[in-house]
Amino acid sequence: MPTEVLDVAAEELTAQVGGMSVYPASIVNAGGNSFFLGRRGTDDLLGVATRAEVGALGAFAGTDTSVELGGQPTRVRLCSLTPANAQALRDRFPWLRPVPLGLRTSAGLGDRLGLATPGHVQAAREFGSIAPIFAQQSVRENARTGRTPQQVMDDAMWGVFQMGWQGPWGSDADHLKTPEAMDPAIAAGYTQYTIDPGDHVDNAAHTAPPADVAAKVQALPWDALEDTAQDMERRYLGRSIELEGAALAFDRETLARAAAKYGRALAHTVQMYRCLVERIGETPFDLEVSVDETETPTSAEEHYFIANELRRLGVKWVSLAPRYIGRFEKGVDYIGDLRVFEVELAKHAAIARALGPYKLSIHSGSDKFSIYPIIARLSQGLVHVKTAGTSYLEALRAVAQMEPALFRDILVFARDHYDVDQATYYVSAQLTKVPAPDVLSDADLPDLLDQFDARQVLHVTYGSVLDRFGGRLMATLHTHAEVYGALLRVHFERHLAPFAHAA
């Protein structure tokens, strides 16, 4: 006999499944079953409804109840959002798995709390030409939030399911510094791996005396680089490199400084890449190389040197993040001369097209509204914009609107912890410019999320804040999920709009 088609609506499920409010976009009717996500109290639950034998629900662990749907008895299993149930749902619906995004214009939408994906999806739907990465977290962020790569992946997947997103989406294991850090991300099924060799960049080589630079070059791990200093010089010296009407030329000092500064970072990147290829097997993936967290900007010559050497060593990547000129501080707009930035970015974009093509990746890319049009135009769609903390700041904006007393407590705490927490971030906020909460009315509190110094203080103290206020903060956001989602939609539409036409 053919399988009976079970087709139910959110209103009927909400009415019949006691105490549960079903997210309408989540309902999927497939194989005689209906799958849906709903809220009961403060918890989200997966529901599976069937008129078949109970064995049809065997992949999902939960509690069964009998209801009447469409005028007929129906069994409904309500399941907690466990890793096992997440995997069972992914096995049933392939669109719940992330995929490599390749050279598509893309945006990383980091989510430190695991609640932002519904808002991210709302914004992404407005700009279908931009491929979203809904699961993105760095090793540092996971350490501070106490989350695992699997939790980040599952939280994003449940948000995708809730919103009924069936388009391609990616997942980024961000700022990987060691081979061991890859393993949890590989096990969780991540599709992009961002290698960060910043600890191996020799920043002193940028200004060291020539004799010291020469010594640094001689001391490079030439075996790991599969090269010699003499062969390197033969590849670069005495030739002009044409790039879309412009030209690069290496003199001996420029080459030596580039090699001394980035040589060990290149060796580490190659080691990481080869370890990744060995561990991930035949599974396709995207690779990003990030040298953005360095003390000095990456010049056009250095960018060319990095990319050309990676290509020589067989590394295959889809995006690369140089350290751009100017200041890319957390949570605020670009700080620097826009004309100089435009001139330098044009060179980086030309190199990415000549040696790839690959995408330019913009790290600390959130809230850089003044340079988005420049990046969109010059990259010609070969761009990845990476955001993270700005979603957390919108969460705090929601708290400021809906629970001002909690926001005041968070602000006092963040001010007290800023001096310690800012040490590992590139920020310049001054505490003296952050108003104390007792001088502000409740109506004034959300406006702090638009003030430079307050944004940065709140941004970098998230780990300490979550340790202290995590339960209260999450409960508030669960209660006011629609407010948070609406704030995220507006905020990220502003981020994505400049890139829509270039994609």
Strands 33-40 and 28-30: antiparallel
Query: How many CA atoms within 13 Å lie on the side-chain side of 161?
Result: 31
Please state the separation of Cα 401 from the chain's center in Å: 26
By annotation, the residues acting in catalysis are 174, 288
Strands 131-138 and 246-249: unpaired
Token readout for 355 is 């040696």
Do 338 and 373 contact (CB within 8 A), yes or no? no
Residue 498 gets which letter from DSSP? Answer: H
Helix H or strand E segment including 259: helix 252-280
Output the CA torsion sign for 308, 311, 313, 317.
positive
Contacts of 59 (CB under 8 A, 6+ apart): 88, 91, 92
Q: What is the C-alpha to C-alpha distance for residues 451 and 449, in angstroms, rounded to an integer?
A: 6
DSSP-assigned states of every residue in 319-374: EEE---SSB--TTS--BS-HHHHHHHHHHHHHHHHHH---EEEETT-TT-TTTHHH
Do 358 and 381 contact (CB within 8 A), yes or no? no
Query: Of 50, 37, 52, nearest to 89 (Cα)?
Result: 37
Query: Of 244, 499, 501, nearest to 383 (Cα)?
Result: 499
Please state the separation of Cα 133 from the chain's center in Å: 6
Query: Of 62, 134, 128, nearest to 97 (Cα)?
Result: 134
Q: What is the C-alpha to C-alpha distance for residues 326 and 374, in angstroms, rounded to an integer?
A: 14
Helix H or strand E segment including 502: none
Q: What is the C-alpha to C-alpha distance for residues 417 and 411, in angstroms, rounded to an integer?
A: 10
